[in-house]
Amino acid sequence: MAQRLHLVFGGELVDPSRSEFKDTDDIQIVGMFPDYESAYNAWKSEAQRTVDNAHMRYFIAHIHRLRDEEREASSTEELG
Q: How far apart are CA 20 and CA 71, in angstroms?
A: 32
Those residues with Cβ within 8 angstroms of residue 74's Cβ, 6 or more apart along the chain or in another chain = none
Q: Residue 80's pLDDT is what? A: 47
Span 35-77, pLDDT tens digits: 999 999 999 999 999 999 999 999 999 987 776 666 665 555 5
Span 10-43, pLDDT tens digits: 999 999 999 999 999 999 999 999 999 999 999 9
Furthest-apart CA atoms within the chain: distance in Å: 47
Q: Residue 64's pLDDT is what? A: 79
**Which CATH number is 6-15+22-68 given?**
3.30.70.2400
Domain boundaries, the chain: 6-15+22-68
Q: Residue 65's pLDDT is what? A: 79
